[in-house]
A and B are shown apart, each in its own frame.
Chain A
Amino acid sequence: EVQLVESGGGLIQPGGSLRLSCAASGFTVSNNYMSWVRQAPGKGLEWVSVMYSVVETHYADSVKGRFTISRDNSENTLYLQMNNLRAEDTAVYYCARENDGHSFGTWGQGTLVTVSS
C-alpha cells in the first residue's frame, strides 16, 4: 500500500528552526517527484517546494532562502528543513507524491507547525 507519514511538527518560536520528515512506503521516493504543500488554519492549499532530484529543487517565493527540501534514499524519507520561521509559516504541512500531469495523487496525513512566542 502506498503511504506517506509526516512527522516533526510542533510549537516553535519565531526565528526558530524545525525539520519535517515524510516517511514513504509502497514506493521509492527517489523515483518520484515529491512536494511539500501547506495549509494555514482555515485557509487554502499552498505549494511550498518540490524535489525532482538532488540537483533540481524549486521553492515558492514565500519560503525561498529559508526552507530546504532533501531526501534520504536509504530511509526512503523526504525532509523539509525550515529555518527563520515566521508566524505566517503556521500551517499543516503535507507531503505529496506527484503523478501524471503534475498532479498530486498521494498525500500524507499532515503535521502541524505552529510558530508563536
Chain B
Amino acid sequence: SYELTQPPSVSVSPGQTASITCSGDKLGDKFASWYQQKPGQSPVQVIYQDVKRPSGVPERFSGSNSGNTATLTISATQAMDEADYYCQAWDSNFWVFGGGTKLTVL
C-alpha cells in the first residue's frame, strides 16, 4: 500500500518561513494536497493539485511537488498558523494521508 511520510514536528519563529515535507514513492507523479487542522476543529484544505490555493487561504501558503517529495511552505509565519498539517495523495481509488506534522510557532 502507498505511504506518505511527514516529520512529526517543525518549529519556526514568527515572521520566518516554515517548510513541511511529505515523502512518497514517485509522489511527484500524483497530485498532493495539504490540510491544516487546529485543536478541536475539522481539517481545512490549504493546498490542492500541488500548488493551488482555495479561495480564502492566505497567499503566504504555497506548495510544490517533484520527485518523491511534496512541500508546504508558509512564508512570514504567524502565530495563527500553529496547527497540525497533513499531506494527502490519491493512489488507485485510495486516498492516503501522511502522519501529520505539528507546526509550532515560537
Q: A50-B95, A94-B42, A110-B42 are in contact. Are A101 and B100 (CB under 8 A)?
A: no
A48 to chain B minimum Cβ distance, whole angstroms, is 9
Q: Which residue of A lies closest to B93 (CB)?
A: A58
Q: Which residue of B lies closest to A100 (CB)?
A: B49
Check A60–B94 contact: CB distance below 8 A. yes
Find B33's partner among A46, A58, A94, A103 (CB 8 Å cutoff).
Answer: A103
List residues of chain B with CB within 8 A of the CB of A61.
Answer: 1
List residues of chain B with CB within 8 A of the CB of A110.
Answer: 42
Check A101–B95 contact: CB distance below 8 A. no
List residues of chain A with CB within 8 A of the CB of B94.
Answer: 47, 58, 60
Q: A44-B98, A44-B100 are in contact. Are A104 and B88 (CB under 8 A)?
A: yes
A36 to chain B minimum Cβ distance, whole angstroms, is 10
Task: Give the CA-CA distance A103 to B70 in the complex, in Å.
Answer: 15
How many interface contacts (CB-CB < 8 Å) are there between A and B? 67
Task: Give the CA-CA distance A35 to B35 in the complex, in Å.
Answer: 16
Find A35's partner among B50, B54, B95, B96 (CB 8 Å cutoff).
Answer: B95
Task: Give the CA-CA distance A47 to B52 in the complex, in Å.
Answer: 22
Check B93–A45 contact: CB distance below 8 A. no
Check B31–A101 contact: CB distance below 8 A. yes
Find A105's partner among B45, B95, B99 (CB 8 Å cutoff).
Answer: B45
Check B42–A104 contact: CB distance below 8 A. no
B23 to chain A minimum Cβ distance, whole angstroms, is 15
A interface with B by C-beta (< 8 Å): 35, 37, 44-47, 50, 58, 60-61, 94, 99-105, 107-110
Extra inter-chain contacts (10) besides given A50-B93, A102-B33, CB under 8 Å: A47-B95, A47-B97, A58-B93, A99-B45, A100-B48, A101-B50, A104-B33, A107-B43, A108-B42, A109-B42
